[in-house]
Amino acid sequence: PLIHSLGCAGHGIILIYSIPIAVEQGISLTAAALILSLINIFSIAGRLLTPMIAERFGGRPVMAAALAIQGITVVVLFWATDLWAFYIFAILFGIGFGGEMSAYPVVNRQYFGSGPIGTFYGIEMMGALLGHAVATVLAGFVIFVTGSFNPILVLSMGFSLVGVLVILTLATLTLSQAGCLGL
């Protein structure tokens, strides 16, 4: 739940504020809306490929990589002024965003087995939505106080990259442990 919360806080800020950030840089509202569309379109590729790759190479490293992509690509927004830079950002961020979102079932199965997951999934989703709620309120407050989008970009990166650190603290499963879980 903590990882899901951090990941959602990281991408939630971008999903909410990518259009105003682009408009502030002189991008038309229509072109800025396309940025958000591209994020979501390219997240489809991440959502499709990540679980397949995670089942082959393990959910932990794949989810860490996707969340790192989600966090690191935000750097582009500090200097993006041209539409093409926003579109490149949207494509790369979208892949990381989609990958971060879809590896959770694989990780859950690898660590907790394939038994009943309803309660754990509910708790995990609560963490995800808390991440969105906290990030939305916090980012809005930070923008109000500072008058700038830059601090919320730092927040977005921070949430995502702290999520990577938490993922990397998970125990590494050996093949024999994974076999005991029926994987």
- The stretch 128-138 carries a mean pLDDT of 95
pLDDT at 139 over 90: yes
Average pLDDT score over the chain: 91
The DSSP code sequence of 101-149 is HHSHHHHHHHHH-SS--HHHHHHHHHHHHHHHHHHHHHHHHHHHHHS-S
Other Cβ atoms less than 10 A from the Cβ of 175: the count is 8
Give pLDDT, residue 181. 47
What pLDDT was estimated at residue 47? 92
Cβ atoms within 10 Å, residue 25? 17
The pTM assigned to this predicted structure is 0.89
CB 168 within 8 A of CB 64: yes
Region 86-91: mean pLDDT is: 98
Check pLDDT > 90 for residue 164.
yes
pLDDT of residue 84: 97
Angstrom distance (rounded) from CA 40 to CA 35: 9
pLDDT in tens, 39-69: 999 999 999 999 899 888 888 899 999 999 9
